[in-house]
Amino acid sequence: MATDVHGPVAPGAATAAPASAASAAVRVTGLTRSFDGRAVIDRLDLTLRAGEFTVLLGRSGCGKSTLLRVLAGLDREIEGEVLVPQRRAVAFQAPRLMPWKRVWRNVLLGLPGRPAREHAERALAEVGLEHRTDAWPKTLSGGEAQRASLARALVREPDLLLLDEPFGALDALTRIKAQQLVARLWQRRGCAVLLVTHDVDEAVLLADRVLVMDGGRIAYDTQVPLERPREVGDPGFAALRNRLLAELGVL
């Protein structure tokens, strides 16, 4: 897997990729991101394994989106070292579709060269949106727009898929369907996923591993020892949910 090292790396910070990085989708060492002199991310270390579905929880304002933006390469004003696959894609809570481009053109937006329409069609079929290929974004429902945004991420064939509250604005039923879709896509694609959410049940439902961010670092890190598919009523589900709520300071 080709990796992208980005910084700028602070004087004295590590610069070489560790040998074990081959099986890691992400390796972050000593990452700090400050705004106005305040470190929102504070010497954070994190390794994400290739193919693993990781969910990132944390109180509002703790720095989850900031971390995701750094991993996406959208924010490089950092100290420390970040190793990520070159093939990575991000989808946000707002689908961010360009209203003056048809859906399929939105899916191909930003890809290098002149990618063929077929690439967009394949990705749209994967998210069940082939019938909206030529639609204008404003004619899509919220769930459809979010699926178009997912197709735009998938067409990049990512080794790392970064999802920032992608279901946050969806109604309950559409949200369940979107969660199931992401779970299926992940199983089919085998890419590493890092999903930011506020929903503890969603974390337990989808994740191999759950992280809780606090104080600018990963404060809690657990594997999810439950078989798939999971249901809220499964033995073990409630126990893990309560543990995570306690970590979040809710219980």
Ligand X SMILES: Nc1ncnc2c1ncn2[C@@H]1O[C@H](COP(=O)(O)OP(=O)(O)OP(=O)(O)O)[C@@H](O)[C@H]1O
Position among 64, 119, 175, 230 found at the interface with ligand X (CB under 6 A): 64
Q: What is the DSSP string of 186-229?
A: HHHH--EEEEE-S-HHHHHHH-SEEEEEETTEEEEEEE----SS
Of the candidate spans 59-67, 203-211, 217-225, 237-245, the one that interacts with ligand X by CB under 6 A turns out to be 59-67
Position among 3, 54, 66, 133 found at the interface with ligand X (CB under 6 A): 66
Position among 16, 19, 20, 60 found at the interface with ligand X (CB under 6 A): 60
Closer CB to ligand X, 62 or 203, in the complex: 62
Q: How far is the CB of 65 from ligand X (least distance, A)?
A: 3
Q: Per CB under 6 A, does 216 bind ligand X?
A: no
Position among 25, 28, 52, 63 found at the interface with ligand X (CB under 6 A): 63
Tell which positions 217-236 bind ligand X, by CB under 6 A. none
Closer CB to ligand X, 35 or 100, in the complex: 35
Residue 219 Cα distances to 29, 36, 46, 216, angstroms = 15, 23, 11, 9
Q: Per CB under 6 A, does 35 bind ligand X?
A: yes
Instruction: Assign 183 to helix, strand or coil.
Output: helix
Expressed in percent and rounded to 5, the helix, strand and coil fractions of the chain are 35, 25, 40
Q: Per CB under 6 A, does 61 bind ligand X?
A: yes
- Give the C-alpha separation, 127 to 151, whole Å: 6
Q: Please state the φ and ψ torsions of residue 22, each to the nearest 5 degrees.
A: -55, -40
Question: Which residues would be at the binding site for ligand X (CB under 6 A)?
Answer: 35, 40, 58, 60-66
